[in-house]
Amino acid sequence: MDCTNARLLLNFLRSGELDPAERDAFEQHLESCPDCGALAQSEQRFDDALTVAMQRVPVPRTLKAGILERLVRSRRPRPWAWISAAAAACLLLVVGFGAWWLRPVEPINIPGLMYVHEAPINAEAIQDWFENNGVAMVVPPQFNINLLDGYDVVEVQKRKVARLTFVARDNIAHVYVLPKDQCPPPEEIPEKLPGSRHTLVSLRDPSFYFIVIYTGSSLAPFYWDSVQGSGRAMNTARLPIAGFTSNT
């Protein structure tokens, strides 16, 4: 080993850091070279002095107790965490309510409202409207659409259902259009509830069934072949409740 390599290794004198062969060569060089030997001794003195000085740090007497106390404190549940969460939730609520309260309110679109009343009534347009509102339905074909007074989506026992309202003279018929897959037809439907002026009738379709609740003696005034209607023939027969049950 020459002096250049030996002086590079001076920094790494600590035992165990050099591999044995390298250490042997290094030590042999230090024995044979007085300059490098003196430098190595000087380096060793500096290392020793630095080690002593580095470790001369007085440790506070209360340190251990302080650490143990803080460890115990950190194990306790922190009520401030709950308080912060509650405060954040309240703030969110206040901000949310404020945003809702201050929301811009759109004025009523008058031409749009008039269009609804003046738009031509036909079964397809009604079915499209319900589809856009997320409700599948068909208009019962035997009903005279010219007698349709209104239609809307109603909630029936937590289900969104299409409802059509027909008016004929002094009588009214509410038709609930129920998809068979989502609202399985009940086994028995009473024709008339005790004390009620309404009559229940069930009509059928491949995918839907209709519950009609109406006033008057029969549904005939609401059909196409009634005196008010256009004379179009019915293509779905009226089924009595019992017949509906046995046919499904």
Cβ nearer to another protein, comparing 18 with 234:
18
Of positions 21, 52, 99, 116, contacts another protein by CB under 8 A = 52
Of positions 53, 99, 227, 233, contacts another protein by CB under 8 A = 53
**Hunting for tokens 């005034």 — which residue is that?**
221
Cβ neighbours of 94 (radius 10 Å): 10
**Hunting for tokens 């679109």 — which residue is that?**
109
Give the range of 72-80, 145-153, 185-193, 227-235 binding another protein by CB under 8 A.
Answer: 72-80
What is the chain written as a DSSP string?
Answer: --HHHHHHHGGG-STTSS-HHHHHHHHHHHHH-HHHHHHHHHHHHHHHHHHHHHH--PPPTTHHHHHHHHHHHHHS--HHHHHHHHHHHHHHHHHHHHHHHTPPPPPP-HHHHHHHHHSPP-HHHHHHHHHHTT------TTB-GGGEEEEEEEEETTEEEEEEEEEETTEEEEEEEEETTTSPPPS---SB-TT-S-EEEEEE-SSEEEEEEE-SS-SGGGBTTSSSS--PPP-S----HHHHHHH-
Please say whether the beta carbons of 207 and 242 come within 8 A.
Answer: no
Shortest distance, CB of residue 61 to another protein, whole angstroms?
A: 11
Work out whether 55 is an interface residue with another protein (CB under 8 A): yes
Of positions 21, 59, 99, 233, contacts another protein by CB under 8 A = 59
Give the range of 53-61, 109-117, 119-127, 157-165 binding another protein by CB under 8 A.
Answer: 53-61
- In sequence order, what are the residues at sequence separation of 6 or more whose Cβ sits closer than 8 angstroms to the Cβ of residue 215? 170, 171, 172, 173, 197, 198, 199
Cβ nearer to another protein, comparing 38 with 156:
38
Cβ nearer to another protein, comparing 42 with 228:
42
Work out whether 78 is an interface residue with another protein (CB under 8 A): no
Cβ nearer to another protein, comparing 71 with 81:
71
Shortest distance, CB of residue 33 to another protein, whole angstroms?
A: 14
x/- track of binding to another protein for residues 31-50 (CB under 8 A): -------xx-xx--xxx-xx
Of positions 2, 4, 16, 79, contacts another protein by CB under 8 A = 16
Shortest distance, CB of residue 12 to another protein, whole angstroms?
A: 7
Shortest distance, CB of residue 28 to another protein, whole angstroms?
A: 21
How many residues lie near another protein (CB under 8 A)? Answer: 32
Q: Which chain residues interact with another protein by CB under 8 A?
A: 11-12, 16-17, 38-39, 41-42, 45-47, 49-57, 59-60, 63-64, 66-68, 70-72, 74-75
